[in-house]
Structure 1
Amino acid sequence: LDVDILDYIFQILRPARGLRSLSSTCRGLRTLSMPVLFKSCVVDVSRPITISHFLPSSLWPFVSSLHIVDKCSDIRAMRFQDDLHYTVDPLMCGVLDGAFLKDALREMPRLRSVHVGFIWREDHGLGWSVIDAILSVSQIREFTIRSYLFCPREAPARRVVPLNPSAHLTTFNYARYASRSQLHADVQRAALGVVIGSLRSSLEHLRLPSDLSPISTFRSLSWTRLRELRLDGTYPSNIDAPLLDIISGMPRLRSLALLFALPRDMEKRPLWPPRCTLHFPFPELEELVVSYPDPEDYLYSHLPPSLRRLSFRCCPHHCLHVWEPACCMRWHSPILPASDLLRILSSIKAPVLQHLQLEYVADHADAALLGSIAASFPRLSSLEIHRFRQVDNSNVSIVRTSCPQ
């Protein structure tokens, strides 16, 4: 068998956990299978990272995706005031060394994706030296940060970015649980603004916590390559204009997800308010996800015919407010009744829509809503409905709806 056929076999065996056994049969197969066997590696870091507490250097030439999981004992120091072991600052991670990572990652020629994070909901910060080290590696295309605070002590100066003129990062994901404390939110927001602003010429996919999103950076710059934008978390409170206008400098956007949880003292806001003069800025949009849509929002009557996936949902899902209210005490869930959702769907012209997700409370318009779905979206192939009874727990009839032939 030639090398291409063997590589295809290796790719099939790897998800089924059969490649490890095959690679142990002889030296030749072991050598050929190394790039597939060690394509994705996970490194658990519980003490300061060094050459002896990291991935063996013999594997570096084969790694394409690297996941670094922070398991140091100082993660919970901010909450429990524990003794510190690897840092003098309880807010900052002390086990990840930027200088070591910069040297190590540059010795991984196949490396395309780096993920760093931890699994607890704690206030634990990632310093600029680590972020700088990863972003400056020219072969990386995707960088994901999970759970960390983003440079909470000091934002990098704009003069130190761009970090590496040869770097061409296309995907930047920063996902974090909504924090009660909002520690150093202004510093984190400024740091994010510096970083993503420097990457705007190459970024195609961007995910950020909505409450830390650098709104001024979105508004002032052009994002000519961006295809996907996801903002999730608390509704951003630092905006003084319609959100659709703020992110209008993204003409090639194809996927937009705005998943905002609403604090109890905040009401939902239209993305395109009535009587506001705007132009729909995303002519190539194919996917739209919006939490708590407003029936007065002008956005929905201006969606392009290219739309293929549409989701109107609660954030978090309304079932959590019903079944586990203690977990959602900070938020409220103004879930739409069927009649309001019917108004929105009736204004949408999406002839090629293939997937639709809805979350609503049934009322007198329930049957009309379900009937309109079949009539308005003839190309629909996937439908997901989260349908709730009214608070009085009244019975809701199930209707039979047939799609037109």
Structure 2
Amino acid sequence: MSPLSNAMFVEDVAILIATQCLKLQQQSLVSLASCSRQLRLICMPLIFSTCSTKSFRSCTTPVPPPGLRPYVRRLVHIGVPDPLSFEKGLEQLPELRAVVFKHAEAGVPFAVVEQCLRHPRITSLSFAENSDWSAWAYTAIPRRPAEESYPNSLEQLSYASFPWKIARASYLHLDYRKEDVAEASVLVPLIFGMHLSAVSLSFPAELVPLARMAELPWPRLRDLTLTGRYSHASQASSVTWLVNVMQSPRSLSIQVGQLEDCPRPAVLLESGSTAMRALESLTLAYPDPDDAIFTVAGTSLKHLSLRDYPRHYVRHLFSHLSEIRGLAMPMLSSSECLRILSRMSMPRLEHLELVYEGDDSEEELLIHITSAYPHLASLELHQYGCRPHGPATLRFDRISEIIRSLKTLLTLHLHLDYDHQDTKPGEPRDDDDGEDDPPRTRRISARELVRYGHEILTILERPHGCYVLEELYLLYLNRDDFRHHWVRFLPSRYPGTEAERVDWDEGFERLDSP
């Protein structure tokens, strides 16, 4: 190998190492950059690829100094942007590719959106749930386009509406339907206007007419995420047509609240209706076990999530009663999960999430997971108890014994049915509730959660167990504000006492997804 080739090889390796450091955490990349001048030059484009600016009355931050501006590819703007100052900032970032808006409670002015669309290199816009346009429903100032389609060349658009909009409107005596109209009047023209260039789309299903969307060509669309809730039953069938329009999907996520008169709508009706062989990520809420998508997807899948939306436990929170009224929440049984997974060949699977109601096939399901996926690095299980007088769910210790055979497992998230953890296997559940009551999980105390966490880790860390496990997470309901968040438990090889290896997430940075 020539000296020049050797130098290029070393630089390529350094870039790969720097990229991996960035995936771990920003500080790791900064530490690597401080090792030498050459590494610093290699790391600078990664370190400064993202910058943040703020627009608040008490605090406004400008774009980075001139020497760093050529590295900026992604801008995160916090607060409601002022159109004049924002436009000046864009002019100073010639290589900008993506803009993310956060904490713009009054909504991002459409003049700012237009400035992004005029920028020669910006192809990605993201609006966090605290930056939606719902507030425009209560102002008379016209700040949105009147056209049905607003032509643009965006490749990626992500719009997150507030997930508990109906509950919020009920509490504040507002009309959430007006908010939907205000949001849709801006979002729909943008989405329809990018149908020829769109590669990735994420938006609430109730805001966009999916049937009309499916009538348009989407030649480049590979990533589709639908959230929110269906506004009427026909929307569910429109999803099927929309998915069929996608020529070679890479990521598909349908996390939409289902209506009582249309539970478990199928995503695909026929196994040969679309090319799913390149699908790498699939997330479905309350799926139909007989959906044809489980026949055609699998060989390329790295991420599979068969979950609930909204989370099943919110039905027991008084603050969310208005939100879930009229919604169907048909949870999969462990038998149905096993039936789905048995139909799929997923040799490349790295992440698996299952939400299920335990039955007699629960142990068989977990054994299948431990034997079928040789590269599984992340597992998340939400276990709910069967209805009264049904079989008891698997105890936490038996679950741990089965999971410990996953030699590649790095992270484990568990939300278990703690209601009958002392019930013997096969023993009927001694419930006093009626036969039709929904499954319920007991709210355990912090002390009990710690006990379960340490006992689970002890089992997982036994000889020939999960020797590469980095983190265990248990879901915990904070009784002060009724928020569910993940408590982290570190294995014994980490420094500190048992208590010091428990991270309670006091800043609520690990809230469970809606």
Q: TM-score, normalised by structure 2?
A: 0.58
Amino acid of the residue matched to residue 44 of structure 1?
Answer: K
Determine which of 226, 233, 253 is the counterpart of 2:228: 233
Determine which of 249, 252, 275 is the counterpart of 1:282: 275
Kept in 1: contact 2:214–2:238 (CA 8 A): no
Task: State how far apart, in whole Å, the 2-side matches of 1:18 and 1:300 are.
Answer: 39
Task: State how far apart, in whole Å, the 2-side matches of 1:321 and 1:282 are.
Answer: 37
Q: Residue 248 of structure 1: SS of its match in structure 2?
A: helix
Kept in 2: contact 1:260–1:315 (CA 8 A): yes
Amino acid of the residue matched to residue 226 of structure 1?
Answer: L
Kept in 2: contact 1:189–1:214 (CA 8 A): no
Kept in 2: contact 1:310–1:353 (CA 8 A): no
CA gap 1:253/1:319 in 2 versus in 1, 3 angstroms = same
Query: Which protein is richer in helix relative to its size?
Result: 2
Q: Deviations over 1:200-250 (max 9, x none)?
A: 333222211222234144212121212211111223537353421233211
Q: Deviations over 1:123-167 (max 9, x none)?
A: x3333212111122111232111123348556524488335xxx5
Determine which of 74, 81, 96 is the counterpart of 1:65: 74
Q: What displacement does 1:281 show?
A: 1.8
The reply on whether 1:98 has 2:83 as its aligned counterpart is yes
Pairwise mapping of residues 4-403 of structure 1 onto structure 2 (< 5 A)?
A: 15-16=26-27, 38-47=48-57, 54-55=62-63, 58=66, 60-70=69-79, 95-118=80-103, 124-147=106-129, 148-150=131-133, 152=136, 155-158=144-147, 161-163=150-152, 169-178=154-163, 179-180=165-166, 181-237=176-232, 239=234, 241-262=237-258, 265=260, 267-272=262-267, 279-283=272-276, 284-303=278-297, 305-321=299-315, 324=317, 326-327=319-320, 330-331=323-324, 333-346=329-342, 348-354=343-349, 355-373=351-369, 377-379=372-374, 381-382=376-377, 383-392=379-388, 395-397=392-394, 398=398
Question: Unmatched 5+ residue regions in structure 2?
Answer: 1-6, 137-141, 167-175, 407-514
Q: Residue 234 of structure 1: SS of its match in structure 2?
A: coil
Task: State how far apart, in whole Å, the 2-side matches of 1:325 and 1:245 are.
Answer: 36
Q: What displacement does 1:113 show?
A: 1.9
Task: State how far apart, in whole Å, the 2-side matches of 1:117 and 1:103 are.
Answer: 19
Q: What displacement does 1:272 show?
A: 4.5
Q: Residue 367 of structure 1: SS of its match in structure 2?
A: helix
Q: What displacement does 1:39 show?
A: 3.4
Q: Residue 125 of structure 1: SS of its match in structure 2?
A: coil
Q: What displacement does 1:289 show?
A: 0.6
Task: State how far apart, in whole Å, the 2-side matches of 1:306 and 1:190 are.
Answer: 37
Task: State how far apart, in whole Å, the 1-side matches of 2:18 and 2:281 are.
Answer: 34
CA gap 1:386/1:10 in 2 versus in 1, 3 angstroms = closer
Kept in 2: contact 1:99–1:133 (CA 8 A): no
Instruction: Identify the range of structure 1 (57-66 vs 307-316) with the bigger mean alpha-carbon deviation.
Output: 57-66
Q: What displacement does 1:33 show?
A: 8.5
Q: TM-score, normalised by structure 1?
A: 0.72
Q: What displacement does 1:314 show?
A: 0.9
Q: Deviations over 1:351-395 (max 9, x none)?
A: 4351432110111232343344456x3545244322222244863
Q: What displacement does 1:118 show?
A: 1.0
Kept in 1: contact 2:359–2:392 (CA 8 A): no
Q: What displacement does 1:37 show?
A: 5.7
Amino acid of the residue matched to residue 314 of structure 1?
Answer: D
Q: What displacement does 1:175 show?
A: 1.4
Q: What displacement does 1:17 show?
A: 7.8
Q: Residue 255 of structure 2: SS of its match in structure 1?
A: strand
Q: Residue 69 of structure 1: SS of its match in structure 2?
A: strand
CA gap 1:47/1:351 in 2 versus in 1, 3 angstroms = closer
Task: State how far apart, in whole Å, the 2-side matches of 1:352 and 1:278 are.
Answer: 20
Kept in 1: contact 2:286–2:330 (CA 8 A): yes
Kept in 2: contact 1:218–1:249 (CA 8 A): no
Q: Deviations over 1:35-93 (max 9, x none)?
A: 666432222211399xx7633664644433211111xxxxxxxxxxxxxxxxxxxxxxx
Task: State how far apart, in whole Å, the 1-side matches of 2:128 and 2:233 are.
Answer: 23
Amino acid of the residue matched to residue 234 of structure 1?
Answer: R
Amino acid of the residue matched to residue 289 of structure 1?
Answer: T
Question: Unmatched 5+ residue regions in structure 1?
Answer: 71-94
Counterpart of 2:431 in structure 1 is none
Q: Residue 280 of structure 1: SS of its match in structure 2?
A: coil
Task: State how far apart, in whole Å, the 2-side matches of 1:326 and 1:384 are.
Answer: 26
Task: State how far apart, in whole Å, the 1-side matches of 2:111 and 2:214 are.
Answer: 28
CA gap 1:98/1:237 in 2 versus in 1, 3 angstroms = farther
Identity of aligned residues (%): 25
CA gap 1:380/1:328 in 2 versus in 1, 3 angstroms = farther
What's the RMSD between the two structures over aligned residues? 4.2
CA gap 1:315/1:247 in 2 versus in 1, 3 angstroms = same
Task: State how far apart, in whole Å, the 2-side matches of 1:221 and 1:235 are.
Answer: 20
Q: What displacement does 1:172 show?
A: 1.5
Kept in 2: contact 1:154–1:187 (CA 8 A): no
Kept in 1: contact 2:264–2:330 (CA 8 A): no
Q: Residue 228 of structure 2: SS of its match in structure 1?
A: strand
Equivalenced residue count is 361
Task: State how far apart, in whole Å, the 1-side matches of 2:82 and 2:194 are.
Answer: 23
Task: State how far apart, in whole Å, the 2-side matches of 1:352 and 1:30 are.
Answer: 38
